[in-house]
Each structure stands twice: as C-alpha cells, then as structure tokens.
Amino acid sequence: MRIGVVSPARPIDPSVESMMQALVAVSFPEVDIVFHRQCFLSDGHFAGSDAVRSAAFLEYANDPAFDAIWFARGGYGANRILDTVLPQLNDAARRKTYLGYSDMGFLLGALYASRIGRQAHGPMPSEIRRKNDHAACVSRALSWLISGDRRSLEPTIDARPHAAFNLSILTALIGSKYLPDLTDHVLMIEEISEPLYRIDRMLFTMAHATQLKGIAGVRLGVVGDVIENDVVFNDTPEQMIVRWCADMGVPYLGRAQIGHYAANCVVPFGVA
C-alpha cells in the first residue's frame, strides 16, 4: 500500500516524517508512506500559500500510484483550497481513501458531499509526537488504512451511516455547498480550545440548521483544553448537547471515542 501525506493547513516538524518512517519500517513494512515536501513549508500561518497547498493535494490525490491520502495535521487553512481543488480531481482521486480530522473536516465533508473517494475522521501523522502514547494513535489509523481493521473503529459504530466533525468546522460548513447530506447519519462531534459559551453557541447553530434536520442522532466526543471564561459557565458540554438535541428533535446517543486526544478512533463517513 502507498500512502501520500499532504498538509492542506499548517506545516509539520520534519521529525514527524523520520518518526513515521521508523514506525512503518518496523510495524508496517508493507506500507510505503511518502511525505510531500509541501508539508514542511512555512508561509505565515500556512504550510505554503493557498496555491502551493492546492497543488500538493492535487498532485497526490490525482496520482494513481497512491492508494490513500493521509492529512498530516490540522490547524486552519483547508477551507481556503476547496474551490480550487474539487473541480480538478480525477478518477484516481475518486478511488482513494482520505483520513484526518479537525480542520481537515472541511476537505472530508466536501469530498463526501461530492462523492469523491472514501473519507474517515481519525488520527493524523503529526500525532506520533504525542507524549506517552508510544505511537498507538497513528498505528490505529494505519491499521485501518491498510486492512480496514475494525478494532480501530469508534466502538459504538453500528450498521447505520456515520460522520464525525470538529464542532467549529461543522458549524462553518452549515449553509455552504460543502456540507454533505447527513440524513439518517449518526453525527459525532468533538471540540478543542474553546470557552464553554462558544461551544454552547455553536451547538445552537447545529441544532437550528435546516441542513441537519434529518440526522439519526448525535454523539459527543472529547471536549478538551476548554478556555476559562471570566464568568463561570455552569453547563457541562454534555448538559449543553442534551438541551440542544432536544431543540433539534433528535436523540442524544451518548459519548463517542473521538477528539483531540490519544484515544481518538476512526469514524468512516457513511457505512463502515
């Protein structure tokens, strides 16, 4: 299997490549993982300009020699290349698997909406640097990419279609042409580095989005690194989501093992 790594948002440290190559050589010798040089570029906030990031994604996505595209990391920026890359994807791109999460939800959602390839929310190469994880996070992702290992999947996944998003990315997609039709899907959401009141506000947007009225239910992943507000916000994330799911008229289905943490599991879009 040949996996191409690109970074449509922010750059990664070169040590990620060397650590990943060492892991693959020992634990996944059947895999050839290729990091595009674009992953290490720096243009202010981004891993290269919009044009450079677009070109790198298109080069690997349209190359039939690659079986999958693994997004290097999150950060902000993937939304800025959607209008450029989607019209230029070819038949080879339609046969690929695309894996990532956080800001990469922009690309995963747009690709799913366009029925281009197979998408999954899950760990990314940059997470090999997580302390005390011993590469379990990225190994889980590789096992799924290589063989569809069901042990890598989020444990509650059943026969229904699923989708997973960072909440801020989901709410940014609402109202756009890039939000896929999630009718009858179980929607899993997670969030990081936001004050609780902003999470509550984003849940309001989710609950009142006409594009999401047909979902089968919602699960809540990890809400981490919450930013303290100067006035205490009493509701917990779970209390918030119970309230907004009631407004939405869909069941709250409980917790999900996804988010910006080491135990993040894989959630394929659609039927697993």
The three-state secondary structure class of 162 is strand
* pLDDT attached to residue 239: 97
Closest of 68, 167, 165, 73 to residue 118, by C-alpha: 68
Position 157 in a domain: no
DSSP at 269: S
Q: Which of 151, 183, 198 lies at the terminal end of a domain, its last residue?
A: 151
Do 49 and 143 lie in one domain? The reply is yes
Position 156 in a domain: no
Q: Which of 132, 151, 170 lies at the terminal end of a domain, its last residue?
A: 151
* pLDDT attached to residue 236: 96
CATH number at residue 187: 3.50.30.60
Position 144 in a domain: yes
Structural domain span for residue 123: 2-151
Closest of 80, 78, 76, 60 to residue 68, by C-alpha: 60
For range 163-167, the mean pLDDT: 98
**pLDDT tens digits, residue range 50-103?**
999 999 999 999 999 999 999 999 999 999 999 999 999 999 999 999 999 999
DSSP at 134: T
Domain count for the chain, please give it.
2
Q: Which of 123, 151, 179 lies at the terminal end of a domain, its last residue?
A: 151
**pLDDT tens digits, residue range 93-151?**
999 999 999 999 999 999 999 999 999 999 999 999 998 888 999 999 999 999 999 99
Do 123 and 182 lie in one domain? The reply is no
**Considering the chain, what is the average pLDDT of its residues?**
97
Report the amino acid identity of residue 99: L
